[in-house]
């Protein structure tokens, strides 16, 4: 289970960084999203992995899971979601004003996705 | 009286909400509300400074949850100093904005207040995750403020700034998660205790988390490999926003000073002084490249932005020296550089409006309509920034240079600080002569500068002579601040108390 989650986080981060370096606004936004998924998963497992354990002490068979990482993830998700929405509008505006979807705002003769 | 600690966060928050609800009301009403609330931060800052003057700590447990379980706000000398500095900088910036830059969108003043809330919260909080949240608050407000008034240059700079900071936020969360996973706490005082007690098995991971935090703070502070966003963003922002941003890099500097003196400081056992080995060369390289960037700048605002980078290098070099006198000197320099950089950004705004279409480009153009007035203000600011006597930059640099112990560090710091000072001198004299003397033979047509805008510039630039006039009491306070920072036991004791707190350790060893 630990290995699976670790590989998952690593894969998400790698894809996120690759997309970020594409330097076109749409892949960059996708990259940011993947990166924030990786971060959220990472935060979540910092409370250790366990199965069917309540986040409340004294309920169930004495096993409990740490509720704080869940609260942190929730905050991170909310902020990340709002920021993604903001970047999308910003990217659209930059596309309209600069007539390019490159993050530097320069027209690229190689065409989109090059 | 204990509730005064949270007021610097609550006041801008409530003002911003009032402004949002009244976003359809007249601009004059918004200006009045916003100016009144910002002005109120000034006596508040003085009051809090006076409370910490004796060296006492103020601890405010939010929702009365005991540390380390709840979030605490901690007021110490450094926090009080930064709060007062924010108030001193934001009032003139807002005054300037209230005469022309705030009408392009309905919510300028609300955003400005949110920005102040984020700044004040970041300076006050004693919890690492809460620091992240306040970083986000001030960043979100700054994204919107940067883009305020639109234009292709701002979209371009804004896109870089936003994406970089989002990646920075991700790294911040990774660092916070690692620290929490190992120590089981996010309270900075508790973290300091746990990190100091960490065994050799946990040390490498903690070091990785600590250095990851350094990357994040270096991005905010604009330290060497991570400052390339700054000149573009700051030179694209409108004058009052750029002036307010003069304190944004200082938030990064503040976080570095706070985290690496408290959590990863000299007392941190295996992890003692985690960041210093990196900070010293990076800070010096930042200084050199910032000075060269200023020399190459073709616009006044880009030039000032590079001067901000230079000041960050100077401040962090002072912190990396890791002694009381150097940190005290750095804190004095921080006050000076923030206020003067803010004043310079506002002045650049005035010069730009008077030069017509050429703006602040450094080549011959129409003369400004008030060359004597703006020229003398520019001269005063330049003398202060370069660090020539008798103004505050000279005293700050003198204090810093005299605090270095003899050795290799002395040679490096003296050579680089004095060399970059010389470069700044050349840069600013060239810029000044371009702007005020090397002009075309055209009669200036631009209207004279608005009186209140001029007053805002004068207020900020007046800090240079005032800081050198009152250098002794100010320096005594920064010395006390540095002494307090290098004795984190007091901070930890104030937050965690002497009592034996029952601990619910949720670590791997207790897990099934």
Question: What's the confidence (pLDDT) of residue B154?
Answer: 82
Please indicate whether, in this complex, the C-beta atoms of A90 and B147 are within 8 angstroms of each other: yes
- % of chain A exceeding 70 in pLDDT: 92
| Alpha carbon distance B383, B135 (integer Å) | 33
pLDDT of res. B276: 87
CA atoms of A52 and B52, how far apart (whole Å): 49
The pLDDT of residue A108 is 58
Distance CA B128, CA B133 (A): 9
pLDDT-based confidence at B164, cuts 50/70/90? very high
Give the pLDDT confidence score for residue A114 in this predicted structure: 40
Residue of B389, B317, B374 whose CA lies nearest to B343: B374
**First CA to last CA distance, chain A:** 38
pLDDT at A110: 54
Residues of chain A contacting residue B505, judged by C-beta atoms under 8 Å apart: none
CA closest to B510 among chain A residues: A63
Contact between A94 and B158 using a beta-carbon 8 Å cutoff: yes
The reported pLDDT for the residue numbered A17 is 95
- Name the pLDDT band for B498 (thresholds 50, 70, 90): low
Flag if A32 and B133 touch (Cβ within 8 Å): no
Q: Any bridge partners for residue B61, and if so which?
A: B72
Beta bridge partners of residue B361, listed in sequence order = B299
Sign of CA dihedral B390, B483, B172, B135: negative
pTM: 0.92
Closest by alpha carbon to A25, among A108, A58, B346, B373?
A108
Mean pLDDT of B427-432: 92
Within 8 A of B169 by CB-CB distance, chain A residues are: 79-80, 83
Distance between CA A107 and CA B1 in Å, rounded?
59
- Radius of gyration, alpha carbons of chain A: 19
What is the per-residue pLDDT for A107? 62
- Give B273's contacts (C-beta < 8 A, 6+ positions apart): B260, B264, B265, B266, B322
The predicted pLDDT at position B511 comes to 38
Q: Residue B153's pLDDT band (boundaries 50, 70, 90)? A: confident
Mean pLDDT of A40-56: 84
Q: What is the model's pLDDT at position B343?
A: 94
pLDDT band at A93 (very low <50, low <70, confident <90, very high): confident
Q: How confident is the model at residue B150 (pLDDT cuts 50, 70, 90)?
A: low
> Which of A36, A86, A98 is the closest to B156 by Cβ?
A98
For chain A, list the strands marked E by DSSP: none
Instruction: Please say if the pLDDT value at position B232 is more than 80.
Output: yes
B166 touches chain A (CB under 8 A): yes
* Contacts of residue B490, Cβ cutoff 8 Å, sequence gap at least 6: B55, B57, B484
Interface mutation vs chain A, best among B114, B128, B140, B156, most A CBs within 10 Å: B156
Q: Point out the least confidently predicted range of A3-7, A30-34, A105-109, B232-236.
A: A105-109
pLDDT averaged over every residue in chain B: 89
Smallest CA–CA distance, residue B328 to chain A, in Å, is 36
Two structure tokens written together for B507: 């670590």
C-alpha–C-alpha distance, residues B153 and B298, integer Å: 15
Confidence of residue B418 (pLDDT cuts 50, 70, 90): very high
Q: Roughly what angle, to the nearest 10 degrees, separates helices B489-496 and B188-196? A: 120
pLDDT digits (tens, 9 = 90+) for B436-456: 888 887 777 777 888 889 999
Between chains, do B163 and A32 touch, taking CB under 8 Å as contact? yes
Cβ A72–B129 below 8 Å, yes or no?
yes
Asked if residue A109 has pLDDT above 70, the reply is no
What pLDDT digit, counting tens, does each position of B263-303 carry? 998 888 888 888 888 999 999 999 999 999 999 998 999 99
Average pLDDT over residues B19-24: 89
Question: According to the model, what pLDDT value does residue B224 have?
Answer: 85
Query: Residue B104 above 50 pLDDT?
Result: yes
Report phi then psi at A56, rounded to 5. Answer: -125, 135
Instruction: Give the tokens for residue B348.
Output: 């650049």
B256-265 confidence digits (pLDDT tens): 999 999 999 8
A80 neighbourhood in chain B, CB within 8 Å: 169
pLDDT of B9: 94
Amino acid B107: pLDDT: 86
Greatest mean pLDDT range, A25-34, B141-150, B152-161: A25-34
Looking up tokens 């573009």, which residue turns up? Answer: B232
Of B10-14, B356-360, B433-437, which one has max mean pLDDT?
B10-14
B177 vs A100 pLDDT, higher one: B177
Residue A112 has pLDDT above 60, yes or no: no
A12 pLDDT exceeds 90?
Answer: yes
Cα B495 from chain centroid (whole Å): 25
Task: With a cut of 70, say whether residue B411 has pLDDT above it.
Answer: yes
Q: Does A75 sit within 8 Å of B162, measured CB to CB?
A: no
Q: Is the predicted pLDDT of residue B499 greater than 60, yes or no?
A: no
ipTM: 0.91
pLDDT of A55 reads: 78
pLDDT digits over B200-227, tens only?
889 999 999 999 999 999 999 998 888 8
Q: Which of B65, B105, B177, B511 to mutate to test the interface with A (most CBs of A within 10 A)?
A: B177
**Yes or no, beta carbons of A87 and B158 under 8 Å apart:** no
Q: Which residues pair with B74 in a beta bridge?
A: B59
Asked if the model's pLDDT at residue B174 lies above 90, the reply is yes
pLDDT confidence of residue A94: 85
| B370 pLDDT more than 90 | no
Mark yes or no for CB contact A32/B143 under 8 Å.
Answer: no
Report the pLDDT value the prediction gives residue B158, as an integer from 0 to 100: 86
The residue-averaged pLDDT of B130-134 equals: 94
The pLDDT score that the predictor gives to residue B504 is 41
Distance from CA of B147 to the nearest CA of A (A): 9
pLDDT over 90 percentage in chain B: 62
User: Residue A73 has what pLDDT?
Assistant: 92
Distance CA B395, CA B332 (A): 9
**Beta carbon pairs, A and B, within 8 Å:** 93
The predicted model gives A83-96 an average pLDDT of 89
């Amino acid at each position: 289970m630990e290995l699976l989650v670790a590989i998952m986080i690593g894969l998400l981060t790698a894809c996120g960084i690759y997309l970020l370096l594409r330097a076109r606004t749409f892949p960059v936004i996708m990259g940011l999203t993947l990166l924030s998924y990786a971060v959220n998963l990472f935060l979540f497992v910092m409370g250790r992995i366990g199965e069917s354990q309540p986040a409340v002490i004294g309920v169930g068979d004495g096993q409990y899971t740490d509720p704080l990482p869940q609260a942190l993830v929730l905050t991170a998700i909310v902020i990340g979601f709002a920021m993604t929405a903001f970047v999308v509008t910003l990217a659209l505006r930059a596309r309209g004003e600069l007539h390019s979807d490159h993050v530097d705002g320069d027209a690229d003769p190689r065409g989109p996705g090059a | 009286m204990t509730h005064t600690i949270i007021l610097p966060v609550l006041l801008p928050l409530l003002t911003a909400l009032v402004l949002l609800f009244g976003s359809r009301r007249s601009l004059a009403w918004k200006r009045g509300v916003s100016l009144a609330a910002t002005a109120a931060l000034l006596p508040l800052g003085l009051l809090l400074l006076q409370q910490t003057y004796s060296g006492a700590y103020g601890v405010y447990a939010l929702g009365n949850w005991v540390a380390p379980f709840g979030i605490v706000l901690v007021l110490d000398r450094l926090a009080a100093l930064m709060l007062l500095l924010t108030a001193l900088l934001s009032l003139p910036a807002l005054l300037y904005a209230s005469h022309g830059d705030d009408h392009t969108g309905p919510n300028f003043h609300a955003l400005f207040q949110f920005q102040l809330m984020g700044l004040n919260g970041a300076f006050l909080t004693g919890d690492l995750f809460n620091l992240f949240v306040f970083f986000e608050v001030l960043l979100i407000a700054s994204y919107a403020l940067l883009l305020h008034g639109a234009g292709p240059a701002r979209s371009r700079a804004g896109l870089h700034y936003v994406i970089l900071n989002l990646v920075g936020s991700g790294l911040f969360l990774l660092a916070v998660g690692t620290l929490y996973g190992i120590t089981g706490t996010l309270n900075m005082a508790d973290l300091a205790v746990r990190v100091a007690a960490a065994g050799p098995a946990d040390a490498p991971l903690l070091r990785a988390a600590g250095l990851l935090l350094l990357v994040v703070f270096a991005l905010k502070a604009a330290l060497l490999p991570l400052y390339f966003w700054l000149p573009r963003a700051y030179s694209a922002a409108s004058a009052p926003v750029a002036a307010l941003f003069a304190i944004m890099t200082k938030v990064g500097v503040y976080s570095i000073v706070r985290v690496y003196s408290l959590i990863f400081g000299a007392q941190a056992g295996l992890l003692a002084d985690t960041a210093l080995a990196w900070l010293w060369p990076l800070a010096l390289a930042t200084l050199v490249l910032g000075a060269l960037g200023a020399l190459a700048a073709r616009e006044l605002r880009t030039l000032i932005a590079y001067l901000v980078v230079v000041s960050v290098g100077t401040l962090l070099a002072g912190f990396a020296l890791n002694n009381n006198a150097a940190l005290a000197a750095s804190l004095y320099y921080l006050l000076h550089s923030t206020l003067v950089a803010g004043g310079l950004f506002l002045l650049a705004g005035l010069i730009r409006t008077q030069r017509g279409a050429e703006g602040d480009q450094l080549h011959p153009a129409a003369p400004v309509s008030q060359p004597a007035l703006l020229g003398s203000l520019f001269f005063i600011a330049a003398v202060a920034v370069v660090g020539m006597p008798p103004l505050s930059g000279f005293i700050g640099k003198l204090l810093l240079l005299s605090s270095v112990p003899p050795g290799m560090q002395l040679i490096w710091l003296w050579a680089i600080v004095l060399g970059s000072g010389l470069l700044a001198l050349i840069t600013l004299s060239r810029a000044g002569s371009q702007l005020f003397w090397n002009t075309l033979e055209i009669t200036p047509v631009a209207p004279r500068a608005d009186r209140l805008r001029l007053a805002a510039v004068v207020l900020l630039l007046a800090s240079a002579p005032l800081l050198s006039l009152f250098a002794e009491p100010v320096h005594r306070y920064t010395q006390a601040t540095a002494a307090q920072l290098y004795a984190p036991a007091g901070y930890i004791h104030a937050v965690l108390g002497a009592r034996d707190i029952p601990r619910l350790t949720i670590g791997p060893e207790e897990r099934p």
